[in-house]
Amino acid sequence: MKTIKNIFIISLIMYFTLGSSVLLTSVNAISSTSSSRASESSRSSSSSSKTTSIRPISATRTSESRASETSRSLTTTSKETSVKSVEETLKDANSALTSYKAAKTADKVAKLIELGTKIIDERISFLSNRLTSKVTSETNISSANKTKLINLISEQISDLQTEKAKIQGLTNLDDLKAEVRNVYEGHRIYATFGPKIYGLLASYRLEFLLGKLETTLTRVDATIQENQDTIPNYTSINEYLTNSKTELNTAKTYVTDAETKFNAMVAAKDTKPAKDEGNLGRDDLAKAKQSIAKIKSYLKQIGALIDKRTSSESSDNTESRLSTSSRASSAVSSRD
């Protein structure tokens, strides 16, 4: 029985250390990233409605939404990379937009090239300084899943670099306008891609935790089955184990569904379909967490039954020792 109890103690410790660190990382971080970038949609809409001038960055981008976003940039990571910090690239982009608006017709090509370059640098900085560092510092996901996320981010950076080279090689103002508009509408880094990465990261955390829980339940189940003949409350314990395994499979299904939905978030001019997929993915993760909470409850119930059995055995041993001592004392008295 000590072996069984030790395994349950290990399982509970594993849950409260690993589980709490993973689960308390709120999936709602995806929502905050999405909302802080909501102004991007209004910018792209403004730019497409004007044929003679381009307004890719609205005035509101330089106010509270921008200030909130830049305050969360990873300054320590930016020092370790050649890419400018998010804050610096935001200032560069705003400055370039001001210059473009003030430029005369003859200078607009050069100013628009500068603007296109700056807004691309801003997005590359976000991808490199924030998303990449977030993924590389994560410890509660598998190496394979970490590689998947890094590759997705690298692909976006490569696409943006290609776009920048194309913009810098154009000389026609109308062609430049179309390409700069494509940066906003075809590379939804803030409204779509960022939430997608954060959603997948949350899914991979839960997937990692479920793997640990599955290993623990397998060990506990094997030990219980080996000792079923000596466990008076075996039926109750086995029922809790069965329920735990059912909830584990349910949680795994929800996590898999969430990953599918986050992977379906594709950048487009209309961001609503991607946002809808993201909301559905977050709902699946919430349901997975509910199943994990039930597993936690079942493990506690099993632990309580084992503790009760252990206490009973200890009491029986004490009574046996007292009875033996009493008989020995009686024997001594009779001899006297």
Tens digits of residue pLDDT in 51-99: 333 344 333 344 444 434 444 443 444 444 445 677 777 667 767 666 6
Looking at residue 87, its pLDDT comes to 74
Tokens of 230: 């000596």
Within 8 A by CB and 6+ apart from 234, the residues are: 224, 228
The helix (run of H) or strand (run of E) holding residue 246 is helix 234-263
> What pLDDT sits at residue 333?
43
Q: What is the pLDDT of residue 9?
A: 57
Q: What is the pLDDT of residue 214?
A: 95
Neighbours of 17 (CB within 10 A): 10
Nearest-Å Rg of the Cα atoms of the chain is: 30
pLDDT of the residue at 307:
74
- pLDDT score of 329: 39
- From 117, 151, 287, select the one nearest 206 (Cα to Cα): 287
Model pLDDT, residue 230: 85
In which residue ranges of the chain is pLDDT below 70? 1-84, 90-91, 94, 96-106, 308-336
Nearest to 289 by CA among 25, 12, 8, 17: 25
